Copies of this chain bind each other. A is one copy, B any other.
Amino acid sequence: MSAAPKHPDLCWEDFVPQRVFPLGTVTMGREEIIEFARSWDPQGFHLNPAAASEIGLEDVIASGIHTLCICSRAIVTELLGRTDNLPGPEAERLRWPHPVYPGDRIEISYRPTSRRRTRSRPDRGLVLGVLEAINQNGDVVLEMKLKSFIKLRD
């Protein structure tokens, strides 16, 4: 993927509050969970079922940063890549309410919650929204409140 599209097919006007944008479903593999943790988050409960069991988990669990990477790729390829957006300066909140186990199938979505024009950048609008991932049992495994600056159509 290269620059932001010159003629994005999604603009600020399309980010209607409460509209749900489905971003795909990903199955988290055991090898992938362990490999990611080895690179970025080498804690026992991500690497070793025995260590996970010691703190009451059924198996290794994915690093929260891994789940975040998966969700980040989904929102970029399925949504932000279709807009002309600026780098997001912050996330207000990031939660992992339920662990992700090997074999879990997570469904990712994004939902704008509010939006407004900004004085500083009249060609762009601010969108606040929630990036969310839910497992096959309906448990929320990641929730992140994001700020995005998206180009206006007009």
Contacts and interface: CB of A to CB of B under 8 A. Distances in A.
Interface of A: 1-4, 39-45, 47-48, 50-51, 54-55, 61, 63-65, 68-69, 72-73, 76-77, 80-81, 85-97, 99
B4 A51 contact: yes
A130 B81 CA distance: 31
Contacts of A68: 65, 68
Contacts of A47: 1-2
Contacts of A55: 4, 86-87
Contact of A99 (B87, B91, B96): B87
| Closest 3 A/B residue pairs (Cβ) | A3-B51, A3-B44, A1-B42
Contact of A54 (B3, B73, B96): B3
B96 A44 contact: no
Nearest to A90: B95
